[in-house]
Structure 1
Amino acid sequence: MTGTHVLPHIRYEDLPMTRDRGVGWAALRGLGPVVRGDDWYYLTRREDVLAALRNPAVFSSGIAYDDMISPVPLVPLGFDPPEHTRYRRILHQFFSPQTLGALLPSLQSQAIEIIDEIAARDSCEVMADLATPYPSQVFLTLFGLPLEDRERLIGWKDAIIAFSLTTDPSSVDLTPAVELYTYLTEAVGRQREQPREGILSDLLHAEEPLTDDEAVGLSMVFVLAGLDTVTSTIGTTMVELARRPDLRRALRGDPEGVAVFVEEMIRREPAAPVVGRVTTQPVTVAGVSLPAGADVRLCLGAINRDGTDLHSVDDFVLDGKLHKHWGFGGGPHRCLGSHLARMELRLVVGEWLARIPEFRLAPGYIPEIIWPSPTCTLPTLPLLLH
């Protein structure tokens, strides 16, 4: 509470997000800079969110990892500086644009193969046909793992995310988590003994190598936090392109225009629109006293559309320039895979428009995300092609 006033309260699931995130974030911002949920405090004002992102000593990301999901620490998400700083220093070179550029030909050919297969049809379901399989293949390529493991990886990932959201722990089947952990542990062991081309082997045999547990933890992060986020953004991106034939025509054959459009999609529809922190000490935010141990949600989706500058609005700003936003977070925990996500999204948009310039939403289909959701993902996206 602040003074004698009771904080505004919202049930997160009641926010009007399913069809239009702009409406939902505006509703949350309208309640005030600090809003109380059932178990969380939501910070909605840009200056407060950015201050929290930049201050891990008070707003900690050192979350206790869930033994049901991962028996090893989740690197680097579950650490604050100075441990986190060490991990970022080790990992940075392997996820830089320069390093990822060496993988570009393979990732591009995989996108083309998937899209060529879709282009031969009259219709497709984007989430199942493109948005889900492609990021999984990218992870396998990146980590030097067999592409034929794609379907198993997707199955494990989907099952683990589903049970992490359940409210009935007694109904949980832990088999997928055990199988994924075993798969990644065995892969790390093999690549420790016999290096392969890819980031995983590079990290295991670097000048300052990761331990086996650290390598498994990093792999778990990429599977559980990296795949669904790109899947989500591919879905929302294809919806916008399906609705905007003039934009499709303008972007076709224009890589720089595609890059700007992708950046605007990440701003408007961040796939991780809320990030969690825990306060390590009492702190005052916007006149509100938060106790130590308070669970806080930093609303990136809200500040990216808050209208406090000309580029943070609900509609696209396609002026040929890349504008600052917080779709990948900020501060020391800014998304490690941001360059990879951009590369994937630019490849998908560019190669799709080159092969399927004309498409539209299936008649009667209304794009509605699953809500509440950590990634704002569309369950389906049926398109008519050509």
Structure 2
Amino acid sequence: MRELFDLQGSYNEVTGGLYSGDPYPIWHRLREEAPVHAGTVHELTGIPDTLYFQGLPFPDRPHFSAFSFEACNEAFRNPAVFASSPEAVDAGPEARIPGQNMLAMGGTQHRRYRGLVQPSFLPSNAGWWMRNWIEETVHLLVDDFAAEGRAELNVDFCAAIPVLTITGSFGVPMEQALDIRAALGRDQQAIVDILTPIVAARRADPLDDLVSILVQAEFADEHGATQRLSDEEIHTFSLLLLAAGSGTTWKQMGTTITALLQRPDVLEAVRADRTLLRPAIEEALRWMPTDPMFSRWVTEDIEFHGQAIPAGSVLHMCVGAANRDPERWDDPDEFDITRKVKPTLAFGQGAHICLGMHVARGEMTTGINALLDRLPNLRLDPGAPAPSFVGMYERGATAIPVLFDPK
């Protein structure tokens, strides 16, 4: 767990995990100078290293970065010009392209494939996720340390919840959850080997889980005949959902908990009035999104917010900067849970807005409520190093050591 979820470890070094500075003053300056700049976000922030993330490195393409809310939001909402893959894909409603995940699809094809699973991720299905996986996972984790009077919340709590939730929804036994996480992005075949017998079992006998939904999903082909997803298509879906479901929410939950612990008066206000938890989570998403950059591939020459961008370029949308744009929020650097909630870009926007955002919110809400319910006098451990925020393209808190009154 500690190796896989150490933001400054070798696993995350390629995304800028060693960056320990505060990029926001630089991003403010860049946004004030111009809404869009030539160059990548990390280069413009002062990091000369080659980093890897969505849209990076692609050294043979021109790179541009947007820092204002207006520019980033416009790019998200114009997929015809700012496509989600190097080769814009919309093969039509009948096309089936094995091995290609939804992030690389466009138009009709993307809508069809996303529509097969989107109902499972709607707010109306939050109870399904809570009942089947989230609540039990959260309380099992708290059980492990509730009597100790101390804990490290980032790895022992935050990191475990999403990975156990998403792997559980795929029918993966708990003892294999970390094998899935370790293999993501490194050994996809190892994940397919774990999923293959589960898919076969659900085809024969569906249960109440996500794999069963995938094996039973139906759509009409070009002749109007009902078709179901192939095993390869299910594996591709699964790899995308497993990566997204286990890789981001834990960092956002850690950021939210840290922001509250650093402000004991705000933490106590949330403890006393749980209706404040939702705006606290939304404010954390605005104030410090865990993925502060998304990328799009430019399909045609365009003059974009004062910058001439040629076709074939990569546009990086610095949503971290956009979410603190003073044109949209007063005192944007302040973590203020009383501010009026407005839509942010933390989960993206447009057709590719994060499929699992409501599940992520459910995990954070359930997790933080459990901590406040079961850990009296929860506070940062003054005898341990205070948590800090690190990372460039995957930002989050370092270790979160806490004390509380044991029960």
TM-score by length of 2: 0.79
How far is the alpha carbon of 1:319 from its aligned partner? Answer: 2.7
Retained in 1: the 8 A contact 2:102–2:237? yes
Contact 2:17-2:390 within 8 A present in 1 as well = no
Paired letter, 1:152: D
| Distance in 1 of aligned mates of 2:170 and 2:206 | 11
Q: 2:306 aligns with which of 277, 287, 296?
A: 287
Structure 1 residue 120 displacement after superposition: 1.7
User: Quick check: 2:214–2:234 contact (8 Å CA) kept in 1?
Assistant: yes
Give secondary structure in 1 for the equivalent of 2:101: coil
State how far apart, in whole Å, the 1-side matches of 2:237 and 2:123 are. Answer: 19
* 1:370-385 correspondence to structure 2 within 5 Å: 370-372=390-392, 374-385=393-404
- Distance of aligned partners of 1:310 and 1:288 in 2 relative to their CA distance in 1, 3 Å threshold: closer
The answer on 1:197 being equivalent to 2:223 is no
Structure 2 residue 136 is the aligned partner of structure 1 residue 134: no
Residues 50 and 330 from structure 1, CA distance in 2 versus in 1: closer, same or farther, beyond 3 angstroms? same
Residue pair 2:380, 2:402 contacting (<8 A) in 1 also = yes
Q: Does 1:271 align with 2:290?
A: yes
* Equivalent position of 1:25 in the other structure: 27
**What are the Cα deviations for residues 57-105 of structure 1, in whole angstroms up to 9, with x where unaligned?**
110102479xxxxx96453211111211112322221111122312313
Match for 1:42 among 65, 69, 90? 65
Most deviating of 187-196 and 276-285:
187-196
2:141 corresponds to 1:114: yes
Does residue 1:323 correspond to 2:342, yes or no?
Answer: yes
Counterpart CA distance in 1 for 2:172 and 2:16 is 41
SS across alignment from 1:340: helix
Aligned length: 353
Q: Using the TM superposition, give the Cα deviation of residue 23 of structure 1 relative to its aligned residue in structure 2, in angstroms.
A: 2.9
Taking a change above 3 Å as real, the CA distance of residues 274 and 33 of structure 1, as seen in their structure-2 partners, is same
Q: CA deviation at 1:229?
A: 0.7
Give the equivalent residue in structure 1 for 2:105: 79
| Aligned 1:1-386 pairs, distance under 5 A | 18-20=20-22, 22-37=24-39, 40-63=63-86, 73=99, 75-106=101-132, 107-157=134-184, 160=185, 176-208=187-219, 209-252=228-271, 254-310=273-329, 313-319=332-338, 322-357=341-376, 358-363=378-383, 365-372=385-392, 374-386=393-405
Residues 17 and 23 in structure 1, CA contact (< 8 A), matched pair in contact too: no
Deviations 1:30-55 (A, max 9, x none): 44212222552101122221111111
Distance across 2 between alignment mates of 1:120 and 1:177: 39
- What RMSD, in angstroms, separates the aligned Cα atoms of the two structures? 2.8
SS in 2 for 1:293: coil
Aligned partner of residue 37 in structure 2, secondary structure: strand
Aligned-pair identity (%): 28
What amino acid is aligned across from residue 124 of structure 1 in structure 2?
A: A
Counterpart AA for 1:228: G
Q: What one-letter code is carried by the residue in structure 2 that aligns with 1:119? A: A
Secondary structure, aligned partner of 1:252: helix
Q: Which residue of 1 aligns with 2:9?
A: none
Q: 1:97 to 1:236 in 2, by over 3 A?
A: same
CA distance in 2, matches of 1:213, 1:64: 21
What secondary structure is seen at the aligned counterpart in 1 of 2:403? strand
8 Å contact kept, 2:82–2:298: yes
User: Structure 1 265/82 Cα, relative in aligned 2: closer, same or farther at 3 Å?
Assistant: same
Closer, same or farther: CA 100–145 of 1 in aligned 2, 3 Å: farther
Q: Using the alignment, how far apart are the partners of 1:56 and 1:256 within structure 2?
A: 36
Q: Distance in 2 between matches of 1:355 and 1:28?
A: 44
Instruction: Look up the SS of the partner of 1:335 in the other structure.
Output: coil
Amino acid at match of 1:57: A
Take 1:178 and 1:369, find their aligned partners in 2: how far apart are those partners? 34
Contact 1:239/1:361 (8 A) holds in 2? no
Do 2:293 and 2:319's aligned partners in 1 also have CA atoms closer than 8 Å?
yes
Q: 1:353 to 1:21 in 2, by over 3 A?
A: farther
Residue 309 of structure 1 and its aligned partner are, at CA, apart by 2.7
Unaligned runs of 5+ in 2: 1-13, 41-58, 89-96, 220-227
Q: How big is the shift at 1:251?
A: 0.9
Change (3 A) 1:15 1:192: closer
Residues 323, 34 of structure 1: CA spacing in aligned structure 2 closer, same or farther, 3 A cutoff? Answer: closer
TM-score, structure 1 length as denominator? 0.83
Q: How far, CA to CA, are the matches of 2:381 and 2:23 in structure 1?
A: 19
Aligned partner of 1:5 in structure 2 is: none
